[in-house]
Amino acid sequence: MNVHLTDISSNKKTGRIPVSTSTADWCPDSCPLKEAGCYAKHSHLGIHWKKVTSGERGTDWNGFTSKIRKLPKHGIWRHNQAGDLPVDCDRIDSVKMRQLIAANRNRGGFTYTHHNPVDNAEIIAESNAGGFTVNLSANNPAQADEYAAMNIAPVVTLVPQDTAKVSTTPAGRKIVICPAISSDKVTCQSCRLCQKVERPIIGFTPHGSGKKSANLVAEGA
């Protein structure tokens, strides 16, 4: 199972930071975008992702964490522009995650996961406490409330395309649309909100060629 590290992203929304791509085999069936609606399956990223999944690009986990240890300290990097966290027997692999937490120390890594937070609460909480930020990816604002109530990790959620820059969940929790979506002048490199544990829920509007399917998920359809 390969993971690829791009030293400097060419994606305008992330900015010039390191980004990784993991095998699609680690994406859980619980992600409703797995079959339709996933932005990462298309364009140049989709081609790259297929090559990582096939083993044509990238390295094994040990090679990947070795590269993470060499990243500059006090920077920021995004794990998984495509893919999800490593798995073992249908759960997040805690051994691999602890290796990543150690490699990431003082390096500002962050990621998102669609793995079931109930089944993986311990290692997700451990990751966030250890400085590697794991955001729980909710399908819609109602599910974001459920995840936020667990109090183990920051939460991001899909929101319908017409959602205001600032809105609330059904339970009244604040949702802020990703600043890089709201403004071309903002990138992950300059924003860093998703790397912070203490912050509002971040909302992502559907994008890419599968945005119609993703919008239905965001609406709770």
Residue 98 has pLDDT above 90, yes or no: yes
CA 142/CA 37 separation, integer angstroms: 19
Has residue 212 got a pLDDT over 70? yes
- pTM of the predicted structure, to 2 decimals: 0.95
Domain boundaries, the chain: 3-218
Lowest mean pLDDT among 41-45, 134-138, 148-152: 41-45
The pLDDT of residue 68 is 98
Helix 94-104 vs helix 121-129: angle between axes, to the nearest 10 degrees?
Answer: 10
State what percent of residues in the chain have pLDDT above 70.
Answer: 98
Which structure tokens are listed for 22?
A: 């993991």
- Residue 221's pLDDT is what? 60
* pLDDT interval class at 218 (50, 70, 90): confident
pLDDT tens-digit map of 30-42? 899 888 788 888 8
Query: How would residue 82 be classed by pLDDT, with cut points 50, 70 and 90?
Result: very high
Strand (E) or helix (H) holding 189 = helix 188-191
Amino acid 76: pLDDT: 97
d(CA 132, CA 129): 8
Q: Binning pLDDT at 50, 70 and 90, where does residue 219 land?
A: confident
Average pLDDT, the chain: 95
**Stretch 204-217: mean pLDDT, rounded?**
80
Which percentage of the chain shows pLDDT scores above 90?
A: 86
Amino acid at 187: T
Model pLDDT for residues 158-192, shown as the tens digit of each residue: 999 999 999 999 999 999 999 999 899 999 999 99
The pLDDT-based confidence of 209 (bands split at 50, 70, 90) is low
What integer pLDDT is reported at residue 199 of this predicted model? 97
Q: Where does the pLDDT of residue 11 fall: very low under 50, low under 70, confident under 90, or very high at 90 and above?
A: very high
Long-range Cβ contact pairs of 61-69 (< 8 A, separation 24 or more): 61/1, 61/3, 61/86, 61/96, 61/99, 62/99, 64/3, 64/4, 64/5, 64/20, 65/99, 65/100, 65/102, 65/103, 66/103, 67/5, 68/5, 68/100, 68/103, 68/104, 68/107, 68/109, 69/103
